[in-house]
């Protein structure tokens, strides 16, 4: 068996595992036609009924499913999946969650990106199932830095999907896919699709886990009452005022709308965490079922596969698909460092001119 045949024997379901390759085997891959997939999500409490590894388990499942689908659609490409990375920022602050700083998440993604890019690979995608604001922004920042530094494509399709969900752009597409799946299986269940009020350990994540590994789901999920987030009317009002102010300065309507939706989403998460009673899930777990999870995963898998293909073929520019939180500058990793620096510089300047004027 020669080296190429030996390498081919390591392929499983059409894809390779990075951890099973040796250093010499990387030379046999066409770097421009190889997709690197990395799964990165934290260990975080997901209600009383789901495991703390829910985000990572779903992310890993999507990574492999999409990798296989991508290979089928692009048979002349290769797919390599790295071991998953159990880290994340802005996890639910309760016992059981493991939290990392935003800067650490960014630095880890940068380190991985540098290492993969140095081998020569040109297309790197990160799978993530955690919606923590600073977590998503950290991944985006790192991806943009690596993409620019090496002139490659490193991106997270999750950011684009979340943005499309909250803009409503993707909803009808996924709903149609799910209805088609229901029709094919002669399932008459009415398809509902709304993540805005069901985004943590609710119907969709519980359904996904029932599909992936039902043994990890507590049977009592069927009896859990619906949980929702209280509204912060004052913060929403402030967002509307900011919209009006931006209009005065001539900022385009789509940018103003993006900012307001990002602002409202952020404060809905803050409201959830700030509630006096500890709530570890949002949505309706009792509505979950395995069939819904299968349709949802299949539909999202197809959508993400098609999106990744469009990105690597240059039909989509990932810079056009930031996460909803990208519009809020104070969520950037270095925002407060820059703010402190400018404040010190400004204060020093004022002090200097004050002393100079006083001496006169």
* Confidence label for 244 from pLDDT (cuts 50, 70 and 90): confident
Burial of 183 (0-12, 13-18, 19+ CB in 10 A): exposed
Q: What is the mean pLDDT of the chain?
A: 84
> What's the pLDDT score for residue 239?
67
Which tens digits make up the pLDDT trace of 83-124? 999 999 999 999 999 999 999 999 999 999 999 999 999 999
Place of tokens 């204060």: 347
Nearest to 198 by CA among 273, 266, 283: 283
Which tens digits make up the pLDDT trace of 24-59? 999 999 999 999 999 999 999 999 999 999 999 999
Instruction: Decide if pLDDT at 1 tops 60.
Output: yes
> What's the pLDDT score for residue 183?
45
Buried b (16+ CB within 10 A) or exposed e, 54-86: bbbbbbbbbbbbbbbbbbeebeebbbbbbebbb
> What's the pLDDT score for residue 187?
44
Query: Quick one: what percent of the chain has pLDDT higher than 70?
Result: 76
Instruction: Decide if pLDDT at 168 tops 70.
Output: no
What the chain holds in terms of domains, given with CATH numbers, is: 3-167+298-335 (3.40.50.10310)
pTM of the model: 0.84
> What's the pLDDT score for residue 250?
75
> What's the pLDDT score for residue 346?
76
Which tens digits make up the pLDDT trace of 68-77? 999 999 999 9
Cα(152)–Cα(108) distance, rounded to whole angstroms?
18
> What's the pLDDT score for residue 107?
98
SS3 content of the chain, % helix, strand, coil (to 5): 60, 10, 30
Cα(254)–Cα(95) distance, rounded to whole angstroms?
40
Which whole number is the average pLDDT over 187-212? 75
Which tens digits make up the pLDDT trace of 249-258? 777 765 666 6
> What's the pLDDT score for residue 217?
98
Which tens digits make up the pLDDT trace of 284-340? 999 999 998 998 888 888 889 999 999 999 998 877 778 878 878 888 998 777 777
* Confidence label for 190 from pLDDT (cuts 50, 70 and 90): very low
Q: Which long-range contacts (CB under 8 A, 24 or more apart) does 21-28 make?
A: 21/80, 26/119, 26/120, 28/3, 28/4
């Amino acid at each position: 068996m020669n080296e190429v045949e030996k390498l081919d024997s390591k392929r499983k379901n059409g894809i390779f595992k990075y951890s099973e390759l040796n250093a010499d085997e990387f030379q046999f891959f066409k770097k421009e036609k190889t997709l690197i997939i990395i799964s990165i999500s934290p260990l975080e409490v997901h209600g009383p009924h789901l495991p703390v590894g829910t985000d990572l388990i779903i992310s890993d499942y999507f990574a492999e499913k999409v990798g296989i689908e991508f290979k089928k659609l692009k048979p002349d490409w290769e797919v390599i999946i790295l071991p998953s990375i159990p880290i994340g920022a802005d996890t639910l602050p309760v016992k059981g969650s493991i939290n990392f700083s935003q800067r650490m998440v960014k630095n880890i993604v940068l380190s991985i990106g540098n290492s993969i890019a140095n081998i020569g690979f040109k297309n790197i995608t990160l799978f993530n199932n955690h919606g923590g604001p600073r977590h998503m922004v950290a991944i985006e920042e790192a991806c943009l830095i690596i993409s620019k530094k090496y002139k490659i494509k490193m991106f997270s399709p999750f950011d684009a999907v979340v943005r499309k969900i909250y803009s409503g752009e993707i909803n009808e597409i996924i709903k149609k896919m799910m209805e088609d799946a229901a029709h094919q299986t002669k399932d008459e269940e009415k398809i509902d699709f709304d993540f805005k009020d069901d985004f943590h350990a609710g119907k969709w994540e519980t359904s996904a886990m029932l599909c992936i590994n039902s043994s990890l789901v507590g049977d009592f999920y069927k009896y859990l009452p619906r949980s929702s987030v209280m509204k912060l009317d004052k913060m929403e009002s402030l967002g509307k005022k900011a919209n009006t102010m931006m209009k005065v300065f001539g900022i385009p309507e789509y940018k103003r709308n993006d900012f307001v939706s990002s602002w409202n989403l952020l404060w809905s998460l803050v409201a959830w965490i700030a509630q006096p009673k500890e709530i570890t899930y949002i949505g309706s777990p009792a509505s979950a079922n395995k069939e819904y999870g299968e349709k949802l995963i299949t539909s999202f898998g197809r959508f993400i596969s098609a999106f990744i293909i469009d990105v690597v073929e240059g039909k989509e520019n990932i810079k056009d698909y930031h996460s909803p939180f990208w519009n809020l500058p104070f969520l950037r990793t270095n925002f407060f460092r820059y703010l402190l620096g400018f404040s010190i510089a400004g204060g020093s300047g004022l002090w200097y001119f004050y002393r100079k004027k006083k001496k006169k």
